[in-house]
Chain A
Amino acid sequence: MSKIDDERIAVIIGGMLRSGVVVSSAFVLGGGIWYLIRHGAGQPDYGKFHGVPADLRTLSGIFHGVADLDPRSWIQLGLLILIATPVVRVLFSIFAFADERDWPYVGITVLVAAILLFSLFGGR
């Protein structure tokens, strides 16, 4: 039982999560201010659900929008970074458990990572 290793890993993971939130917030804040400068006078339309436009739902659409300097795509990119932080945490834990030679937990963590990656990239 390597208690010290566990603590070290926990501290690294905590730091990773926090920097993910900071980077994500920076994109969302920057994109948000820019969005309000451009569209601040427009009318909010959230009363009825019709889903966000298709190019704000896919990775390729968002990257195109970011390249085209579309503020809504910049916000979406920030939100995607945020969603990715727990995923990165799980992926990192695979290596941490492997480093401790805790194979059952490598397996458990790979399973959790597979479920997350399926949610993000698989299906519709």
Chain B
Amino acid sequence: MNNLEFTGLVLLISAIAGFLGSLTGLGGGVVITPALTVLMGVDLHYAIGASLVSVIATSSGAASAYVREGFSNIRIGMFLEIATTIGALFGAFLASKISASALGVVFGLVLLYSAYQSSLPEPPAHADLHHHSLAARLRLGGVYPSEDGPAKYLAQRVKAGFALMFGAGTLSGLLGIGSGAVKVIAMDQIMRIPFKVSTATSNFMIGVTAAASAGVYFKRGYIDPGLTMPVMLGVVGGSIAGARMLAGARTRSLRILFSCVVGLLAVEMIYSGFTGKL
């Protein structure tokens, strides 16, 4: 296989990943790395470099759509980005210390969990709204357009959410993923921010988190132009097509199907990690 054929194949895989990633809300980045390593035999460090860049592209590309809907909360996002960017630097540092095999096993486990989480139905809105002095002082709340008209919300358990965001950043820097699943858990489950606000704010944060580790990846030579070019273009093209096709609507069966594909790739990756094939 020469460079032209390789580029074409990677472009195709990335376009499919971007398309399904945006249709299902799981993001294209998570399947790029296992697809490149398991299917194309690419070294894990090059793969996470290319994947991280595509994560920034989809986050920045989708952000304008999200902000127009009025769901994302810039204050909550910016405050939590302190935790995610420090975590991302730490993760990028760890990525150079851990062997590719161990990295592959961790990746597979995170992938399995995201696949499981994305197959769950959208949780109901949170009813309880306790006053939280730290959240009120930092203005970590707002109003969002719910189905029953504008609804108020205020973040709960800010410290626990902040701590989990550090973990999300670490995973992002370690594995070259957006770790949107963990960010949504931190905001929706821990901080009790409405699900729609959580997902929109998470998407907003993913790009900033990824940029923090991308600088480190760049200097270490993880970002190869020949490989990243088709990955980035494919994911961007695929996710635009996905977003156009089903604006906002997410079919549950498609999510489950995509989760199964991700799950299979995850198992293959864990297996490759344990047998030292990565």
Contact = CB atoms under 8 A, between A and B. Distances in A.
A82 B56 contact: yes
A47 B63 CA distance: 34
A51 B220 CA distance: 7
A118 B85 CA distance: 11
Q: For chain A, what secondary structure do more than half of its interface residues adopt (helix, strand, loop), or is it mixed?
A: helix
B64 to A, nearest CB: 3
A7 B104 CA distance: 41
A18 B207 CA distance: 12
B2 A89 contact: no
B186 interface: no
Contact of A119 (B59, B79, B212): B212
Contacts of A9: 74
A93 B4 contact: no
A83 interface: yes
B225 A17 contact: no
Interface stretch (B125-133, B229-237, B242-250): B229-237
A17 B4 contact: no
A98 interface: no
Contacts of A39: 3, 226
B211 interface: yes
A46 B43 contact: yes
Contacts of B78: 90, 93, 105, 108-109, 112
Interface residues of B, number: 68
A41 B218 contact: no
Contacts of B230: 32
B29 to A, nearest CB: 13
Interface in B23-53: 40-46, 53
Given A48-B43, A108-B78, A7 B56 contact: no
A79 B43 contact: no
Contact of B232 (A49, A54, A79, A80): A79
Given A39-B3, A48-B43, A75 B225 contact: yes
Interface of B: 1-4, 6-7, 40-46, 53, 56-57, 59-61, 63-68, 70, 72, 74-75, 78-79, 81-82, 85-86, 88-89, 92, 100, 137-139, 143, 207-208, 210-216, 218-230, 232-233, 236
